[in-house]
Amino acid sequence: MLIYILRRLALSVSVVFAAIVATFAIFFLGPSDPAGAFCGQGQNCTPERVAIIKKSLGLDEPKTTQFVHYIEGVVVGRDIGDSDSSVKHCPAPCLGWSYRSNRPVTDMVLERFPVTLSLVVGGVAVYVTLALLFGVLAARFRGRLIDRVIVGVSQFVPAIPYYIAALMFYLYFMVFYAIIPRSSYTSITESPWAWFTGLLGVWLFWGAFASTGYIRYVRASMIDTQGQDYVRTARSKGISEKRVMYRHALRAAIAPFITLVGISIAFELTGSIFTERIFNIQGMGLLALDSFNTGDLPVIAGVVVITATFVTIGNLIVDMLYGVVDPRVKLS
Amino acid sequence: MSVGTTAPTPAEGQLEAPSDADPDIQLAEGGGSKSPLKIAMTRLMRDPVAMISLGMALFFVLVAVFADQLSGLEGQNTTDLNLDLIGDNTYPIFTANTEHWFGISSGLGQDLFARWVHGSRPSLIIAVASAAGVTIIGVLLGLLSGFLGGWVDRIISWIIDFLLSLPFLLFAIAIVPIAVNRYAGTQVGDYVDEEKVATIRFLCLIFVFVLFGWCTLARLIRGEVLSLREREFVQAARALGVPTRVVLFKEMLPNMLGPIIVSLSLAIPGYVSAEAGLSFLGVGLRSPSISWGLTVATAQNSFQAHPIYLWLPVLGIALLVLSLSLLGDAIADAFNPQTRR
């Protein structure tokens, strides 16, 4: 067990490292012009000033040296800027320096992290509940009208682009008719109630929409496990149907579902760009989008690295959980 | 390489003959064993949802192909400004009339019908081009990885795993400015050609979709190859000394048409949706390109006073993606032996 965890951990670290290398290669070895972006478009931006900025950011050094500095920054932190001009300290894990905001990228991303996390956790709670509820319901009444309605809806809804549905929901239900409180983000420490009501509409909409993509998985694996021998054995022992459903069949059916959810949580941490843009929630996705518009590449790169890390950690946790939930899986 | 259009060619030494020869011979014999492709086609023809979706998708394809003729019929083009028809509040003074069938846009007063029919083009072109690229690269690398095995397989598999762990949307966002920077030159004082930037953005989208799209198909094909490799007809062909290239493309590929067609038909609506979505976010196409996603982004601000401006591209995207997705689902169903009745 311990060896398995260690080996799995080593693999995850290697993937994260590869992601950092790839991100660095794409963003910093690419033909981008960070010094120009930092300098701005106005009259003050003379070639001399660009050269000074380049020097202070270390962009005049060879690419390999830059890469070593970058990795060094991630591990132990680093100082940016040469000795005679103002030195900026970027503590570990340093993912670079934002040219636009003139502050460490890590701070900027971490500042937005609770926002996106609130969004994703609430949304996932809604969709997991709905997917399990309707999936089990459909499987239980297989072939009946209720099953066909659920399956029909779960086929039809994901075929509509999410952002179109979300935009119309926002415009008509939150703005035009104002049935649901307009989405906004307040820190949970500041006011839990404002935090809850501000995000409620987004959670419900996103959760309901996303659940339709998972209902069919839950239904299919419920139907699958119901035909298994151990479920038949459980029934033959005279255990109540409810207990058979929830303790025996659902527990096995839930394992592949957990994999899906775990991966989706990690991906939603940045995949929430559309949600954040439409509902105007200032999370990590919107940070990346704003950085795109200002040409602030280190920030986008930072978000990419952090996301890749989350995806990898997510996969790791999912693999561990798998053994806990499904007794048939032995970690080795 | 022709994928998806030609009927599978007969495979040498094939014992079970799942995929088969000329459809005419089959018909003449009156049934018996049919190729999986034919069975799937027959099932598809009987599926009402598939046929309605196909009709709707074809409608949009025709609109895209004849966009110039359609706007010519109306007598308007996509760029003319009609500032005289715009009221003081920047909204048009009418909804629609015989000259402007779908009305005009807020602010600039461009003809909405002309822009709507042209707006379907980039989505469809990008989707088809990306799907073609994904199919060629995915099939090729999947075949190589599965058939050659060894270090080729390990490298390709690692690349696939790696690409799948990267956040697609963020890379899509990042690649456009890098490419524009590189190929159009946005140094201070540089003259930036709008048309050129538009082309770069267009190509970038295709590039990103192909880059992140081929891995899933390659993985699928690799799995298929691994199972087909041990089948008798492949063993026989190899024993006869048939060159690897011929074994791959003449023996194995025809047997994988089903999964390839299914993955294509499920991918295309995804690309249509992604193009419009990225353009909506402002990181895909931009003016002077015309795209539904772009129109949605601008029309969003005047949805209360001028709803038709927003609803047209919204309905366009929703119906096009809906019909393509449902068609894709139906095709996947038709090819799935487990749902065969």
Cα(A209)–Cα(A164) distance, rounded to whole angstroms?
12
Residue-level pLDDT at A182: 86
**DSSP character at residue A183:** P
Mean pLDDT for A280-296 is 85
Ramachandran angles phi, psi of B76, nearest 5°? -130, 165
Q: Could you tell me the sign of the dihedral formed by the alpha carbons of B286, B288, B290, B295, in that order?
A: positive
Superfamily of domain B37-335 in CATH is MetI-like (1.10.3720.10)
Q: Do A295 and B177 touch (CB under 8 A)?
A: yes
Burial degree of A113 (CB within 10 A; 0-12, 13-18, 19+):
middle
Q: Could you tell me the sign of the dihedral formed by the alpha carbons of A282, A283, A289, A291, in that order?
A: positive
Q: Could you tell me the sign of the dihedral formed by the alpha carbons of A167, A172, A175, A180, in that order?
A: negative
Which residue, B243, B269, B273, is CA-closest to B332? B269
In the numeric block, the tokens 């390659």 are attached to: B218
Contact A161, A179 (CB under 8 A): no
Neighbours of B284 (CB within 10 A): 28
Cα(A227)–Cα(A234) distance, rounded to whole angstroms?
12
Q: Do A297 and B171 touch (CB under 8 A)?
A: no
Burial degree of B139 (CB within 10 A; 0-12, 13-18, 19+):
buried
Alpha-helix runs per DSSP H in chain A: 2-28, 34-39, 47-57, 63-76, 105-140, 145-156, 162-169, 192-226, 229-236, 241-243, 250-271, 273-279, 284-294, 297-325
Q: Which of A23-32, A55-64, B83-92, B187-196 has the highest mean pLDDT?
A: B83-92
Residue-level pLDDT at A32: 55
Portion of chain A with pLDDT greater than 70, in percent: 84
Cα(B169)–Cα(B320) distance, rounded to whole angstroms?
22
Mean pLDDT for A32-45 is 60
Return the SS3 of A256: helix
Query: In chain B, whose CA is at the least distance from the CA of A275?
Result: B281
What's the pTM value of the predicted model, to 2 decimals? Answer: 0.82
**DSSP character at residue A104:** B
Portion of chain A with pLDDT greater than 90, in percent: 14
Cα(B227)–Cα(B234) distance, rounded to whole angstroms?
11
Residue-level pLDDT at B59: 95
**Minimal Cα–Cα distance from B178 to chain A, Å?**
6
Which residues 125-164 on chain A approach chain B with CB closer than 8 angstroms? 155-156, 158-161, 163-164
Query: In chain B, whose CA is at the least distance from the CA of A21?
Result: B162
Which residues 33-92 on chain B approach chain A with CB closer than 8 angstroms? none
| Residues A108-148: tens digit of each pLDDT | 888 898 998 899 889 989 989 999 999 988 988 888 999 99
Burial degree of B126 (CB within 10 A; 0-12, 13-18, 19+):
buried
Return the SS3 of A97: strand
B329 and A CB contact within 8 Å: yes
B300 and A CB contact within 8 Å: yes
Cα(B204)–Cα(B133) distance, rounded to whole angstroms?
13
- Measure CA A266 to chain center: 4
Residue-level pLDDT at B311: 92
What value, to the nearest 5°, has the Cα angle with vertex A248 and ends A247 and A252?
110
Nearest to A41 among B188, B281, B326 (CB): B188
**Minimal Cα–Cα distance from A55 to chain B, Å?**
18
**Minimal Cα–Cα distance from A294 to chain B, Å?**
10
Contact A95, A305 (CB under 8 A): yes
Contact A216, A151 (CB under 8 A): yes
pLDDT at A233 over 90: no
Region at B107 (left for phi over 0; alpha for psi -120 to 50; beta for the rest): left
Residue-level pLDDT at B280: 92
Q: What is the mean pLDDT of chain A?
A: 81
The 3-state secondary structure of chain B reads CCCCCCCCCCCCCCCCCCCCCCHHHHHHHCCCCCCHHHHHHHHHHCCHHHHHHHHHHHHHHHHHHCHHHHHHHHCCCCCCCCHHHECCCCCECCCCCCCCCCCECCCCCCEHHHHHHHHHHHHHHHHHHHHHHHHHHHHHHHHHHHHHCHHHHHHHHHHHHHHHHCCHHHHHHHHHHHHHHHHHCCCCCCCCCHHHHHHHHHHHHHHHHHHHHHHHHHHHHHHHHHHHCCCHHHHHHHHCCCCHHHHHHHHHHHHHHHHHHHHHHHHHHHHHHHHHHHHHHCCCCCCCCCCHHHHHHHHHHHCCCCHHHHHHHHHHHHHHHHHHHHHHHHHHHHHCHHHCC
Residue-level pLDDT at B52: 93
pLDDT at A61 over 80: no
Neighbours of B235 (CB within 10 A): 12
Mean pLDDT for A316-328 is 70
Domain boundaries, chain B: 37-335
Q: How many CA atoms lie within 13 A of A111 on its CB side?
A: 11
Question: Residue B191 has which token pair?
Answer: 């003259």
Residue-level pLDDT at B323: 94
Residue-level pLDDT at B185: 57
Query: In chain A, whose CA is at the least distance from the CA of B327?
Result: A159
Query: Which residues, other chains included, contact A149 with Cβ-Cβ below 8 Å and sequence gap of 6+?
Result: none
Contact B176, B201 (CB under 8 A): yes
Listed as ranges, residues in chain B with pLDDT below 50 are 1-30, 188-189, 341
Which residue, A25, A16, A35, is CA-closest to A93? A16
Cα(A19)–Cα(A309) distance, rounded to whole angstroms?
8
Contact B281, A162 (CB under 8 A): no
Cα(A91)–Cα(A287) distance, rounded to whole angstroms?
21
Which residues 7-66 on chain A approach chain B with CB closer than 8 angstroms? 15, 18-19, 22, 26-27, 30-33, 36, 41, 45
Burial degree of A235 (CB within 10 A; 0-12, 13-18, 19+):
middle
Mean pLDDT for A178-197 is 87
